[in-house]
Structure 1
Amino acid sequence: MPQFAANLSLMYTELSLLDRFAAAARDGFRAVELHFPYAFDPREIAVRLQDNGLQLVLLNAPAGGTDPADMAHAWAQGARGLAAQPGREEEFRAGVLEALRYAELLRCPAIHVLCGTVPPGVERESLKDLCVGNLRWAADQAGRAGCDILIEPTNLRDVPRYFLNRQDHAHELLDAAQANNLKVLMDLYHCQLVEGDLHGKLQRYLPTGRVAHIQVAGVPARHEPDRGELHYPFLLDTIDALGYSGWVGCEYSPAAGTSQGLGWMKGVTPRVV
């Protein structure tokens, strides 16, 4: 079965962030992902990873901001990314470079770059070339550090007016950018809310090799994967049968305590890597 990574921005929130690493390791995780680690010195995070035998497999580039202090709090202040934001190219580049600094220090192989929202009165299609140019630049910078840049289709209920919503639109951006290390983060929670047909989407896109990371959560409430309308045993079997070798991020908000809600993983034997 697939190998799972705990999302420490949403899981174990009863603990301070730096204490969540040990909790995840105690529950058997060997990898973690983070949304925005920029409020912490990367050396502090590196110690927690090493002490607990964990690998950081994904982090987000800052949602906005031109200096580290602003970047650390941009999402909380309403920023939703910059790749498709007109006139903010320098801010976008500063954020990518800061993400790469963290990724290099933490040996993280993938950075999720947020596209941002479509400004009022602007047509989405008019932003495509801007987004492609920004992503191509980011992929070039990341390639020098041996990192992948990921983009994630996101549902409009959680992030109104978000630029990127559909799997086919994400792959169109990859076609246009022509960068081998620009790939897709396929979040099955977002995909179900926007498009459905998860089995069909997995069959279509996993064989391309362009999906570098998968995330899971229950639908519709984004709790544990076994809560809600999706049958995850079937989907995980599908992922495995298609030969996917990447990580599956547990990006959900536990309905109660994190450890108590991990029963959905019983009987699931992750691959040893």
Structure 2
Amino acid sequence: MAGALQGVGAVVTGGGHGIGAALARRLVAEGARVVVNDLDAEAAWRVAHEVGGTAVPGNCASEDGVRSLLAHATQALGRVDLYMANAGLDHVQGEPVDWLETSDAAWSTLQEVNVMAHVRAARALVPEWLETGGGRFVVTASAAGLLTMLGAAPYSVTKHAAVGFAEWLSATYGHRGIAVQAICPQGVQTRMLEEAGPLKELLSADSVLSPDDVAQAWVESLADDRFLVLPHPEVADYYRARAGDTDRWLAGMRRIQAGLDALEDR
């Protein structure tokens, strides 16, 4: 599908590392012009230089940050046709990652990055897209947003919300030229997986994909413009099992959690 995105003006948030960097590279390979955003300014500049794009470092979650990012992106691209809301956060440094001890402040931070960043970007982009022929909004969520993430309540809950918001966008504006997708990978070779502790083995049980694999899965999804992009096909089976018999699925999750508890007690 070389050239599938020829001439498209694209923004990738969290584009300095991992899946975001892989998406930026693949977008350019498919003919897009790319703005790379990341809080890590050095990483944003490095990836932008590598792909021949434009670096716009900064906070893509705050109202001012979104406004500034889109202003600079529009200046660089002429028009933002594709917004890849890829930036995400799994925990706040120094805070408990799991259980109920996570502070309100940490919950709020994950809500800002994993949910409100998408809301604010869509709020700015969708009205213009409706007037000028449409656009595409892609959220990098997680299999956790369809299932759950044991031991990581704020991450799991906010990723569910990210998928929910993307579904709402598609249902509300899909018939008016706004394409919406949610990428929901499971185990991917990123910092997040390496720092997952006991959950690393669980997330790696089926297969661990590279960020490039995730980017490839998204490009392939354009052929039928599907909403859910599942780089790990088995996630679809888990999702069906969860919907088909939620109590049975929860019983299985509790067994897995009991096993994790036993590991921590050793």
Q: TM-score range by the shorter chain?
A: 0.3 to 0.5
TM-score, structure 2 as length reference: 0.38
TM-score, structure 1 as length reference: 0.37
Higher helix share: 2
Instruction: Kindly indicate whether structure 1 or structure 2 has the higher relative contact order, using CA contacts under 8 Å at least 6 residues apart.
Output: 1
